[in-house]
Amino acid sequence: MRLISFKQSFHPQGIALCAFRSRWASTSASVKDPRVGDRSIYTLDPIDYNEPKFNKILIANRGEIACRVMKTARAMGIKTVAVHSDVDSNALHVKMADEAVCVGPAPTSESYLRADRILDAVKQTGAQAVHPGYGFLSENTDFAAKLTAAGATFIGPNSKAILDMGDKIHSKRIAGEARVNMIPGYDGEIADEDQCVKVANDIGYPVMIKASAGGGGKGMRIAWNDKEARDGFRLSKQEAASSFGDDRMLVEKFIDNPRHIEMQVLCDKHGNALWLNERECSIQRRNQKVIEEAPSSFVDPDMRRRMGEQAVQLAKAVGYDSAGTVEFLVDSKKNFYFLEMNTRLQVEHPITEEITNIDIVQQMIRVAYGHQLNIKQSDIGINGWSFESRVYAEDPYKGFGLPSVGRLTKYEEPVDRVEGIRCDSGIREGSEISIYYDPLICKLVSHGPNRQVALDRMRDALDNYVIRGVTNNIPLLRDIVEEERFRSGNITTKYLPETYPQGFEGASLNGNEERTLVALTAALQALKIARAQMFTNQRKAACIDPLLKDYSFVVGSPKNGSDSRKTANVNVKFIDGNTDNVEVFVDGTEVKLCGDICLAKSVLHLDIDSEASKKATVQVVSKRPGELVVIYKGSQFKMRVMPKAVSELLQHMKEKPKVDLSSVVLSPMPGAIKTVSAQVGQMVTEGQELCVIEAMKMQNSLHASKTGKVKAVNVKEGQTVDEGEVLVELE
């Protein structure tokens, strides 16, 4: 092991170069790394250490994808260079790399999207190639061309293929010529809102308005009428300009109740092209994927073959030479239509790796160097089933996920607690989720011999995933993987609004589960009191063991779907003073808790004997005295534990008055104000847009809840705001 050596210098253009020597000398492929999975799964084309390769590559990205690429590069014996903004100077991908270059301040437009600074970093470090990951410059044809002109290799498709497929208008023409099934739409660029409305009426509502250069759900809106078409065009155009630097828009027919199924392709520079089976990506919110699986339960072998062949036809038509993804919309009759081609590594590529035993990043690096694929189409099979849950720093109770920011005060991944689990993440305990970047915490991947086993492992992994400091979407993910319709595979892109028509409200508990949480909360409170007595009165502890006492409490627990609480009288006894064997009576009903009931553990695994014997995985977060937050089935339940006298007094407390939310516009999330249309003294109508807030490169329009006069405007364009901050007040 070597100590990290640090060197810092400044380039004439002001770019700081920070060189780190890796603390790990070994790059053996046999090393197990839970963040990228056991390398022994990549059995179809293992690393050949005698094969010529790049000596050093630069990863023009951040977060989990930068870490993911570095893992494979390290295993191949290739040195890596990280680029980072000033706020990312202590990020995990920077610490993992052999060298690191600061390319600017926090905003992406001044750092990760600065192609000139990335190119300068390539020259400074002597990197022979650049892997762009996904997003940022991954589909920027100008960057790819300039990189080639500078003598470095772009680890991705050639710039012509990116240009042909990255422009959705042009790609549709090429796909049609390649005899790929097409969606009805307008073949051309939409100039303004009026033309958008006209084309939408010609095609027939509903329509999809989306950026020609878009991806990842950004710059996309569904419109069902003329007003939504105008608003959708304007907001999507602004998002596209902010995210991609290209605001050209197109309109196409929106297929109602579709499935979103994509086909992974892999091509080399010698004319070889493969399809690596499909991924089902139908579980989405705001056109962004939430949970993906491979293969799809809806696709039969013949459909899989036809989709794969069409995907390869398209790839060959544009001279594709890297990993890429052809996306399709599929109707209920298994008709599939070309949606777009993503000329980059996909976020959800790990599930394809799990079922094909192919390291897609390794293949991209090999192909970029000039090697032929060692794999034939007949080699590609389907090994079991795999799911990916995108764990985000988001509040799932607000529109299925509005961004959350903060520092990870506690962070434990479930790879060591659950079999068949892989975590692709770019953060660690102490990392900060900021407003500047995507709020992705981790790509949680499960694998099993069949769909049900893979789902069970995903459920258990979510139960054992410990994240503190930021709000996260694990409650929603956990509920989905246990939901009956999802379990059966009966899903479409409308799954979330159909399954949760009132929005996500958290897990529901039956009577036994409620009793279990009440019993556990009381047992933990009794344990806290007993431990405190032991430490504060040690001389008497030998005579009177607090664990042999009987404890009585009143426990208040929230009602399902309500802010009100119900209470239960609870008696607790540690049998023979043993904390692993607790007898609890909840309103006279006995509940036995056996397991690791311990205040120091992040996750408790319990055996519960009440009316039915079962197991439970629970997390407990200590809050203020007398209150515990119990995390069960992914959802948080605030439990109050108090003496009976205190409970009786609380009944006489007045309720806190509620704020009239119709008279104010609150910030739904941390972000930056993009535009402000409200003015003091202005009369506004219900539903009128007052301002637009941007966070993680997504824009949200905020509207008036009632008709009235604007009393105050508390923000201006460019201002950063916190969640819950009052932006506009009405009289």
* Catalytic residue list: 344
407 forms beta bridges with: 432
Helix axes 360-369, 349-356, angle to 10 degrees: 90
User: Distance between CA atoms of 488 and 115, rounded to whole angstroms?
Assistant: 46
Mode of pairing for the β-strands spanning 153-154 and 671-676: unpaired
Closest CA to 597 of 588, 606, 589: 606
Closest CA to 81 of 52, 120, 53, 114: 120
Instruction: Give the H/E segment covering residue 603.
Output: strand 603-609
Q: How far apart are the first and last CA of the chain?
A: 67
The string over 258-281, giving b where at least 16 C-beta atoms fall within 10 Å of a residue's C-beta and e elsewhere, is bbbbbbbbbbbbeebbbbbbbbbb
Tokens 């390769």 identify what position?
53
User: Distance between CA atoms of 269 and 537, rounded to whole angstroms?
Assistant: 76
Contact predicate 368/286, CB 8 Å: no
- 3-state secondary structure (DSSP) of residue 683: strand
Q: Work out the burial of residue 583: count CB atoms within 10 Å of its CB; fewer than 13 is exposed, 13-18 middle, 19 or more buried.
A: middle
- 3-state secondary structure (DSSP) of residue 330: strand
User: Distance between CA atoms of 507 and 479, rounded to whole angstroms?
Assistant: 6
User: Which residue type occupies 586?
Assistant: V
Contact predicate 690/673, CB 8 Å: no
Measure the CA angle with vertex 696, ends 632 and 131; round to 5°: 100
388 forms beta bridges with: 292, 445
Closest CA to 47 of 352, 361, 347, 265: 361
The string over 404-435, giving b where at least 16 C-beta atoms fall within 10 Å of a residue's C-beta and e elsewhere, is bbeebeebbbbbebbebbbbbbbbeeebbbbb
